[in-house]
C-alpha cells in the first residue's frame, strides 16, 4: 500500500509562510528579550521611513542578518543533502560526507591557531575554511578519478577516510597551539554558529544557494534518473559520468561556502531531505523546494533555541541540531519504509 503524500503547492505555501514568520519572531529572542509588538513596529517603521527606534540597531544590525543567514544556511544544507544522497545513492549521506567540513575545519583551525591569513581581519577564519573545503574536495576528486571515476562507492570511501585524516590534522593543530582562547574558538566554530552574521556576509552564500537550487531544479528529471541507478540514467540518454562530476563540483563549492560562514552544522542535510521525501515523495521537483523551505525554518528556530537555552551564553548550533536531530531522525524512520535508489 503506497503512502499518502501531502499536496505539494499548499505545503510549500505553508512552509514559506512559516519561514517568514520564523524570521520575524526570531528577532524577539536573544540575550535581551524584545516584545514581538516592538519587533513588528521596528520592521514596519523601517520600511515606512520612520526615525530609528529604541531597538533598531539590535534588530536590524544584529538579529536580522543572523536570522537571514540561518535561513540561507538551513536551505542550502537541505538542498545539498538531497543532492548528496542522489550523488552517492545512499540514504544516510549528508552534505559533509565527502570530508568537505573536515577540510574546512583544518583551514579554520590553521587560521585561528597559527595566525595565518591574519591580514584579512574578520574574514580570516571564513577564508581559511573555504580554502580548506575546496582543497579537500579537490583531493577527493583526484583520488576518486585516479581509481577509475566518481562512482558512489569511491566517493563515500574516499570521503570517510579523508574526513578522518583531516579531523586528526585539525585536532593536532589545536593540541600544538599555546593559545587556549584559540582552541575554544576552534571548538565553537566546528560545532557551528551564525553569531558572526553581518549584512556583508549574506550576499555570497545566498547567491550560491539560489544558483544551486535553480540548477538542480532545472535538471530534476536527470536527478530522478540518477537516483534510480546509473543504468536507468544511461538508458535515458544521460551522460552519467559528466552528471556526477557536475553534481560533485556544485555540491562541494556550495557546502564549502556554507561551512565557511557558519561552521559545521550537522543533521540538517540528513534529516530534512528524509522528511521531505516522506511527505511529498521522491521526485526532485517537489523534494528540493520543500526541503529548502523546511530546512530554512528549522535552522532559524535552532538558532533561537541556541540563543535562549542558557542565555546570556550561546550553545553551538551543532549541539542543538544533534540533540533534536537524533530522536527526530529515528522517529521519521520508524513511521514506515520508503524507497530511494532502489533500496527500501
Q: How far apart (Å, rounded) are the C-alpha atoms in residues 95 and 104?
A: 13
Residue in this structure with the C-alpha cell 532502489, named with its chain if needed: 342
343 belongs to a structural domain: no
Question: Cα(281)–Cα(2) distance, rounded to whole angstroms?
Answer: 10
Residue 231 lies in a domain: yes
HEC string for 66-127: HHHHHHHHHHHHHHHHHHHHHHHCCCCCCCCCCCHHHHHHHHHHHHHHHCCCHHHHHHHHHH
Q: Please tell me the distance from the alpha carbon of residue 256 to that of residue 249, in angstroms, as a whole number.
A: 11
Whether 344 maps to a domain, the answer reads no
* Residue in this structure with the C-alpha cell 538579529, named with its chain if needed: 63
Q: pLDDT value at position 79?
A: 97
Any domain includes 138: yes
Instruction: Write out the residue range of the structural domain in which residue 204 sits.
Output: 8-334
Is there a domain that residue 341 lies in? no
Residue 80 within a domain: yes
Per run of 10 residues, the mean pLDDT along the chain (length 344 residues) is 77 97 94 88 82 84 95 97 91 83 91 83 86 91 83 86 92 85 81 90 95 97 94 93 93 92 91 91 95 97 93 90 86 61 51
Which pLDDT value is given to residue 303?
A: 96
- pLDDT tens digits for range 206-243: 999 999 999 999 999 999 999 999 999 999 999 999 99
CA R_g for the chain: 20
Give pLDDT, residue 1. 43
* DSSP calls for 197-258: --HHHHHHHHHHHHHHHHHHHHTHHHHHHHHH-HHHHHHTT--HHHHHHHHHHHHHHHHHHH
CATH code of residue 142? 1.10.3470.10
Residue 336, pLDDT score: 54
Q: Report whether 94 contacts 269 (CB < 8 A).
A: yes
Q: How high is the pLDDT of residue 298?
A: 96
Compute φ and ψ for 342, nearest 5 degrees.
85, -5
Domain count, the chain: 1
Domain contains 179? yes
Is 66 inside a domain boundary?
A: yes
Amino acid at each position: 500500500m503506497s503512502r499518502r503524500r501531502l499536496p505539494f503547492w499548499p505545503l510549500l505555501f505553508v512552509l514559506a509562510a512559516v519561514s517568514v514568520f520564523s524570521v520575524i519572531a526570531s528577532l524577539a529572542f536573544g540575550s535581551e528579550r524584545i516584545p514581538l509588538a516592538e519587533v513588528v513596529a521596528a520592521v514596519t517603521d523601517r520600511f515606512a521611513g520612520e526615525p530609528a527606534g529604541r531597538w533598531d540597531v539590535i534588530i536590524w544590525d544584529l538579529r536580522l542578518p543572523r536570522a537571514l543567514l540561518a535561513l540561507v544556511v538551513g536551505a542550502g544544507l537541505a538542498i545539498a543533502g538531497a543532492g548528496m544522497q542522489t550523488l552517492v545513492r545512499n540514504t544516510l549521506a549528508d552534505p559533509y560526507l565527502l570530508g568537505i567540513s573536515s577540510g574546512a575545519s583544518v583551514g579554520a583551525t590553521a587560521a585561528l591557531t597559527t595566525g595565518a591569513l591574519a591580514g584579512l581581519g574578520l574574514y580570516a577564519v571564513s577564508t581559511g575554511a573555504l580554502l580548506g573545503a575546496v582543497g579537500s574536495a579537490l583531493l577527493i576528486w583526484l583520488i576518486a578519478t585516479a581509481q577509475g571515476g566518481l562512482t558512489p562507492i569511491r566517493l563515500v570511501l574516499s570521503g570517510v577516510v579523508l574526513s578522518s585524516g583531516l579531523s586528526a590534522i585539525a585536532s593536532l593543530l589545536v593540541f600544538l597551539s599555546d593559545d587556549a582562547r584559540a582552541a575554544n574558538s576552534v571548538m565553537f566554530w566546528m560545532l557551528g554558529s551564525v553569531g558572526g552574521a553581518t549584512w556583508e556576509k549574506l550576499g555570497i552564500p545566498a547567491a550560491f544557494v539560489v544558483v544551486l537550487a535553480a540548477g538542480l531544479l532545472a535538471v530534476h528529471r536527470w536527478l530522478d534518473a540518477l537516483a534510480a541507478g546509473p543504468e536507468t540514467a544511461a538508458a535515458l540518454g544521460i551522460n552519467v559520468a559528466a552528471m556526477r562530476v557536475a553534481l560533485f563540483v556544485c555540491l562541494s563549492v556550495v557546502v564549502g561556502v556554507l561551512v565557511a560562514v557558519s561552521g559545521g552544522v550537522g543533521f540538517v542535510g540528513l534529516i530534512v531531505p528524509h522528511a521531505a521525501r516522506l511527505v511529498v515523495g521522491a521526485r526532485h521537483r517537489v523534494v528540493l523546494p520543500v526541503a529548502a523551505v523546511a530546512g530554512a525554518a528549522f535552522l532559524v528556530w535552532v538558532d533561537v533555541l541556541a540563543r535562549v537555552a542558557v542565555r546570556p551564553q550561546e550553545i553551538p548550533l551543532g549541539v542543538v541540531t544533534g540533540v533534536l536531530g537524533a530522536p527526530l531522525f529515528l522517529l521519521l524512520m520508524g513511521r514506515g519504509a520508503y524507497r530511494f535508489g532502489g533500496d527500501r
